[in-house]
Amino acid sequence: MGKKRHKPEEVVAKLRQVDVLVSQGKTVAEAIRSIGVTEVTYYRWRQECGGLKSDQVKRLKDLESENSRLRRVCVPKTMYGRRPRCKREIDFQRSVRVRSCIRPLNAAA
């Protein structure tokens, strides 16, 4: 079964639908099952965008995607194509950069 990506408007609508069903007397678990998502997904959505309106959630998602794109562009990468994870990799990256800037002694001037 494939994953379904919910749009921000759908997330807000489903969160409101659960609130309505709970106020009508259903348990939270039954209400979550009736909207067709898991409990983990419901609680994650509620944590991320519980009190927001649909346009605010849409703006939040746009800003998050732009932020991740900018982070990928701005963060320097190592020779392995990823960000350095530890101090040793950072030191190695610096030493490679320094060695590439120094001319060999036996090179013609």
Q: Where are the alpha helices (DSSP H) in the chain?
A: 8-23, 28-35, 39-49, 54-74, 87-101
**21 pLDDT band (50/70/90 cuts)?**
very high
**42 pLDDT band (50/70/90 cuts)?**
very high
Instruction: Examine the pLDDT at 105 and tell me if it is beyond 80.
Output: no
Instruction: Examine the pLDDT at 56 and tell me if it is beyond 80.
Output: yes
How many C-beta atoms lie closer than 10 Å to residue 22's C-beta? 14
pLDDT for res 98: 57
pLDDT in tens, 86-104: 666 667 766 665 555 555 5
**53 pLDDT band (50/70/90 cuts)?**
confident
The whole-angstrom distance between residue 102's C-alpha and the CA centroid of its chain comes to 40
pTM above 0.75, yes or no: no
Instruction: Output the CA–CA distances (angstroms, integers) from residue 10 to 41, 46, 48, 83, 98, in the order listed.
Output: 13, 13, 14, 35, 52
* C-beta separation of 100 from 92 below 8 A: no
* C-beta separation of 30 from 21 below 8 A: yes
Q: Is the dihedral of CA 71, 73, 76, 81 positive or negative?
A: positive
Q: Where are the domains of the chain?
A: 8-73
pLDDT for res 32: 94
User: Angle at CA 78, nearest 5°, toward 75 and 79?
Assistant: 140
